[in-house]
């Protein structure tokens, strides 16, 4: 499943290859169930079920993964990446608030519950202020 440098792969193959490269089955299961599509193309009718089906079919049969889920965006996916970048630029936090790869692997979506990220609720509230304005 590893393409040559100049070989082009489809979206499903790229997603599958990226997730499988993590090497940990527990993390792979989390990631396969939390795929999010952003950008205007994410609004295409039927895209979410098509991506779910295609990704599921690109997972090698020797992998113990049987579920793929593309999450529905709660906001307009056309602007999600732009909003995220804009909000990140105005939030009041330093480098110590960054989520590091090892922390994400250990804690996943519960990263904000650790002591290191004790101000995460403040950051979330601050971000929501910008999103809703």
* Same domain, yes or no: 11 and 34: yes
Same domain? 45 vs 90 = no
Note whether 68 and 101 are same-domain residues: no
Q: Is the confidence at residue 124, as pLDDT, over 60? A: no
Instruction: State the DSSP H helix or E strand holding residue 70, giving kind and residue range, or none if neither.
Output: strand 70-71
Residue 118: domain span:
79-133
Q: Is the pLDDT of residue 112 over 60?
A: no
The last residue of one of the domains, among 62, 78, 94, is: 78
Average pLDDT for 53-58: 97
Rounded percentage of the chain residues whose pLDDT exceeds 70: 67
In this prediction, what percent of the chain has a pLDDT beyond 90? Answer: 37
The residue among 77 and 11 whose pLDDT is bigger is 11
Is-contact 14 1, C-beta < 8 A?
no
| Torsion of Cα atoms, 75 then 70 then 41 then 13, to 10° | 150
Q: Do 100 and 69 fall into the same domain?
A: no
Q: Domain of 65: which CATH number? A: 3.30.420.40
Is 99's pLDDT higher than 80?
Answer: no
Average pLDDT over residues 100-128: 58
* pTM as predicted: 0.61
Judged against a pLDDT cut of 60, whether residue 84 lies above it is answered with: yes
CA pair distance 112, 123, nearest whole angstrom: 10
- Is there a single domain that holds both residue 122 and residue 108? yes
Q: Are residues 41 and 88 in the same domain?
A: no
Among 78, 104, 122, the domain boundary falls at 78
């Amino acid at each position: 499943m590893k393409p040559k440098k100049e070989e082009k792969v489809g979206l499903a193959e790229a997603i599958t290859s990226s997730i499988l490269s993590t090497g940990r089955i527990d993390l792979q299961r989390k990631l396969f169930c939390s795929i999010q599509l952003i950008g205007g193309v994410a609004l295409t009718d039927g895209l979410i079920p098509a991506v779910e089906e295609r990704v599921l079919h690109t997972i090698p049969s020797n992998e113990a993964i049987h579920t793929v889920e593309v999450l529905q965006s709660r906001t307009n996916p056309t602007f999600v990446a732009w909003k995220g970048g804009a909000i990140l630029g105005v939030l009041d936090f330093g480098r110590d608030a960054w989520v590091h790869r090892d922390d994400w692997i250990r804690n996943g979506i519960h990263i904000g519950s650790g002591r290191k990220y004790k101000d995460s609720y403040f950051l979330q509230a601050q971000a929501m202020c910008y999103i809703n304005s």
